[in-house]
Amino acid sequence: MTEPVIDRALVELRGVSKRFGGTQALDEVSIEVRSGEIHAFVGENGAGKSTLGKVIAGIYTADRGGVVIDGAPVDRWNPGIAQGRGIAMIAQELALVPDLTVAQNVFLGAEEHRLGVLRRNVDERFAALDAEVGFGLDPRARVRDLRIAEQQKVEILRSLARDARVIVMDEPTSSLTAHEMSQLEDLMRTLRDRGCCVIYVSHFLDSVLGVADRITVMRDGRRIDTFEAAAVSKHQLVTAMLGRELDQAYPDRPAAPGADQAPVLVARSVRTRTGVEDMSFEVRPGEIVGLLGLVGSGRTECLRAVFGVDEIVGGAVEFGGRDWTGRTPKHSIDAGLILVSEDRHKDGLVLQRSVRENIALSSLGARALGGVIRSGQEKREALEVARSVEIRPLDIELPVGWFSGGNQQKALLGKALAASPKMIILDEPTRGVDVGAKRAIYELIVRLATEGIGVLLISSEHEEVMELAHRAYLVSEGRTFAEIIPTETTVEDVLFQLFHVASGEEAAA
């Protein structure tokens, strides 16, 4: 192996512009990424980060400007050519084949007989690759059965299997646990030290500051600045991203409902076949209640069962004073119990349809009953909802798939609001959303509670629950084991309890 040459430009973009309809996604962007660096792209939703990554990876070709690889301009550019030049991208919207296994996805289309090397058993090659990064994935599991965090790991292995020397990771950490995130950061460092360039697109500025060598800030399709990570503060980054100072991150918590109020949603010792052992909680109208746990603790699974997606095999659920055990999602939606799931594509949005249609889908059932869909009204309502969640650009006739990741998340929330919920369950509502838009979502949560709607909130950013919820339950291994009042404790204390229980120290004591 030859010594990696550090600080050589691997990919250079010169004055690249890219337009989608009326949106200037990239505007004269010049940038170079070098061997031996972790180069982060940060910016608000819709700033152009993914588009920039996709031009680098050959998925999009620029309208104007050029791509230079290893010092030589390229005249043709597509994903195949880019891959041949050692450039891979882990897209924000994962692109795995759900019906194939983990190992099949990892090696799909990879040149395995290069240099005449004997094709080794796929399981064996997989094990070697997986051991290198320590993910511990089951090669034979079907991708469709994996959680998003696991699917992201499969994507990462896919690019490693291709010996990429430039790897664009578009929000790879958005649904990983803290531990998985630090594993991934270690992996990025390993790749860098081998002379690769890792392009790291993320909204987790702390992680970016901790791991990146250089940070490029994008805003409105333009490259605003590129900083040496060691010489820039989080405050400077946020200000460059927004083009202004950020107001306070969280709105004030609304007043808590009286303890005498009857709960709108109750779970009593719920058990499922999906890993929920014994979960109990209640939510009153106008109350924001959090579930705090590590990824994989069973929070999502419990909520799916309460909503009616998965079967409940023990315990009971009550909604609006009625027994709600074993209902279907349709029952729940019709009665105003709404789940906004963490996987916006699988469970939430129809990408080819417009924002208006997606928003209307949730309330269409009721309206179509009369046989006629009042389209003028539908349009006005959809626009109002889209505005309240700050979808940008505010054009509800565009297909949802055309919007940036964070704006798709806002569309999903809009869809839930249009269904006139009595009780809303939010699973990772700010995943992939930028700092400015997060604040808009927090305000929305507070507004819902103020209007008397019960809110159940799951977030892996524990701070969100701690800053917004009136009460929260701690969850580990499928059980709710404690209840806390966020204003009376700290994130550190919560984490301590979560890890303490998860590591089984309690049982040993």
Ligand X SMILES: Nc1ncnc2c1ncn2[C@@H]1O[C@H](COP(=O)(O)OP(=O)(O)OP(=O)(O)O)[C@@H](O)[C@H]1O
Q: Report if residue 496 touches ligand X, rule: CB under 6 A.
A: no
Q: Report if residue 47 touches ligand X, rule: CB under 6 A.
A: yes
CA distances to 61, 65, 244, 398 from 20, rounded to whole Å, are 12, 16, 26, 11
Burial of 352 (0-12, 13-18, 19+ CB in 10 A): exposed
Q: Report if residue 221 touches Mg ion, rule: CB under 5 A.
A: no
State the sign of the Cα–Cα–Cα–Cα dihedral 47, 223, 31, 216.
negative
The residue from 5, 6, 15, 20 that contacts ligand X (CB under 6 A) is 20
The β-bridge partners of 265 are 283, 319
Task: Give the integer Cα–Cα distance in Å for 255 and 373.
Answer: 38
Measured from the CB of residue 89, what is the shortest distance to ligand X in angstroms?
A: 12
The partner in contact with residue 402, picked from ligand X, Mg ion, none with C-beta cut-offs of 5 to 8 angstroms by kind, is ligand X
Binding mask 228-267 for ligand X (x = CB under 6 A): ----------------------------------------
Binding mask 419-458 for ligand X (x = CB under 6 A): ---------------x------------------------
State the sign of the Cα–Cα–Cα–Cα dihedral 391, 394, 397, 399.
negative
Q: Report if residue 184 touches ligand X, rule: CB under 6 A.
A: no
For ligand X, which stretch binds (CB under 6 A), given 48-56, 140-148, 288-296, 463-471? 48-56
Report the residue number, 409 or 480, with the smaller CB distance to ligand X: 409
Measured from the CB of residue 348, what is the shortest distance to ligand X in angstroms?
A: 15
Report the residue number, 166 or 469, with the smaller CB distance to ligand X: 166
Residue 392: CB atoms within 10 A of its CB come to: 17
The β-bridge partners of 12 are 32, 68
Report the residue number, 45 or 358, with the smaller CB distance to ligand X: 45
The partner in contact with residue 403, picked from ligand X, Mg ion, none with C-beta cut-offs of 5 to 8 angstroms by kind, is ligand X
Q: Report if residue 174 touches Mg ion, rule: CB under 5 A.
A: no
Q: At 397, list the tokens.
A: 């006739």
Q: Which residues contact 284 (CB under 8 A, 6 or more apart)?
A: 257, 261, 262, 263, 264, 454
Measured from the CB of residue 252, what is the shortest distance to ligand X in angstroms?
A: 27
Residue 3: CB atoms within 10 A of its CB come to: 6
Task: Give the integer Cα–Cα distance in Å for 182 and 483.
Answer: 28
Within 40-69, the residues that bind Mg ion by CB under 5 A are 50
The residue from 12, 35, 39, 48 that contacts ligand X (CB under 6 A) is 48
Task: Give the integer Cα–Cα distance in Å for 255 and 20.
Answer: 44
Within 390-419, the residues that bind ligand X by CB under 6 A are 402-407
Q: Which residues contact 92 (CB under 8 A, 6 or more apart)?
A: 50, 170, 171, 201, 405, 432
Measured from the CB of residue 92, what is the shortest distance to Mg ion in angstroms?
A: 5
Q: Report if residue 223 touches ligand X, rule: CB under 6 A.
A: no
Q: Report if residue 207 touches ligand X, rule: CB under 6 A.
A: no
- Is 428 in contact with 255 (CB distance < 8 Å)? no
Could you list the residues that contact ligand X (CB under 6 A)? Answer: 20-21, 23, 25, 43, 45-51, 92, 402-407, 434
